[in-house]
């Protein structure tokens, strides 16, 4: 699973509405930068890798200006339990636009974020089971 999640160019398999690209060809490492954008958008938004532990963890944060998020940080961890790998992801975010962003988050944003992450994890599980 770790290899699937750290393969930046193929993360669209799990988040089909988002495009991803690396800033360099070398191996992914702490400090590496990659970019995301909603499909069809013009602007790429940079993220920096904060932590990498093979087969255990990847963590990154938004370092550029995103049209929706003021802050976005995630920590994706993997735990081996017998023959299974358990994937756990913690996402911290803050929508832009002050009080309007907070109201949006309370009304629908939190559910949208959770649904997107859950769907990505289900796709990740399906792909990992095929390997």
* 27: confidence class by pLDDT, cuts 50, 70, 90: confident
Query: What pLDDT is stored for residue 57 in this prediction?
Result: 97
- Residues 17-30 have a mean pLDDT of 92
pTM here? 0.90
Domain count, the chain: 1
Own/partner contacts of 122-128, CB < 8 Å, gap of 24 or more, are 123/13, 123/14, 124/1, 124/4, 124/5, 124/14, 124/87, 125/87, 127/4, 127/13, 127/14, 128/1, 128/4, 128/85
Q: What percent of the chain has pLDDT over 70?
A: 100
We report the CATH number of the domain holding residue 71 as 3.30.530.20
Domain range for 83: 2-130
């Amino acid at each position: 699973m770790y290899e699937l999640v750290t393969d930046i160019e193929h993360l669209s398999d799990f988040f089909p509405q988002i495009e991803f690209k690396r800033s360099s060809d070398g191996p992914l490492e702490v400090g590496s930068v990659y970019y995301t954008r909603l499909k069809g958008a013009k602007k790429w938004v940079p993220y920096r890798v904060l932590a990498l532990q093979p087969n255990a963890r990847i963590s990154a944060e938004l370092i550029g200006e995103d049209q929706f998020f003021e802050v976005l940080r995630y920590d994706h961890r993997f735990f081996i339990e017998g023959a299974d790998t358990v994937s756990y992801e913690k996402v911290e975010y803050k929508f832009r636009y002050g009080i309007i962003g907070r109201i949006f988050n309370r009304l629908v944003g939190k559910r949208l974020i959770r649904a997107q992450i859950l769907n990505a994890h289900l796709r990740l599980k399906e792909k990992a089971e095929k390997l």
